[in-house]
A and B are shown apart, each in its own frame.
Chain A
Amino acid sequence: MSSGDAPIAELISEVAHELRTPIAAISGFAELLRIRDDEHLRLEAAEQILIGTSRLSKFVNELVAVLEADAELTIRLMEARARIAREARP
């Protein structure tokens, strides 16, 4: 990996971190539900699974919005580059 890839690697690491943490809570509470018979735990685990799911959903929505904005900017840049190239032709 070149040094120019470092920001991308850092971004991927950040995204992975933001995804893995709520997934860890969801899967962990689900596993506790499977192995423990406890009413208090059942209610708390269900609540935490819902909170984790909501958190994941919010993060994915934000991520998609950022990617869409980035894609739109890339398309505009490509269009501008194509126009400049056309206008520069003799």
Chain B
Amino acid sequence: MKRVLIVDDDEAIRKLLRMTLPDDAYEVVEAADGEEVGGVLEEGPPDLVVLDWKMPGVHGAFVLDELKGRHPTLPVIVLTAEGRDSQRALADALRADAFLTKPFSPIELLDTIERLLRPGSD
């Protein structure tokens, strides 16, 4: 069972992601903003993070930088409604493993998660 952390301020998107991930294969933990991430990490690092970019309070870029600083090999997928090339470049520079824009296909997201969790994918 893989543990996936979803960080998104939008409840509908968190619900969509939770329902996208088959519950016999994934344990889903949620954070509604960047500040909640620290509390979740205290329970142990997840196997993968799906991270919203533009959130009230702490921006996703800061969360990504912090995550990669503490857990360099932790796969992080940036999932964002912010499609500007500059933001994609910033996510790349901060070592995001994938960058998907909203609206997104749940199947594509699931494929990306499975690819990143495959042994030897890093």
Contacts and interface: CB of A to CB of B under 8 A. Distances in A.
Interface residues of B, number: 19
Interface string B9-39: 0101101100110000000000000000000
Contacts of B13: 21, 24-25, 28
A64 B102 CA distance: 23
B83 interface: yes
Nearest to A27: B103
Interface of A: 13, 16-17, 20-29, 31-32, 35, 41, 44-45, 48, 51-52
Interface of B: 10, 12-13, 15-16, 19-20, 54, 81-84, 101-107
12 contacts: A13-B82, A16-B82, A17-B54, A23-B103, A24-B102, A24-B103, A25-B16, A27-B103, A28-B20, A28-B104, A29-B19, A48-B16
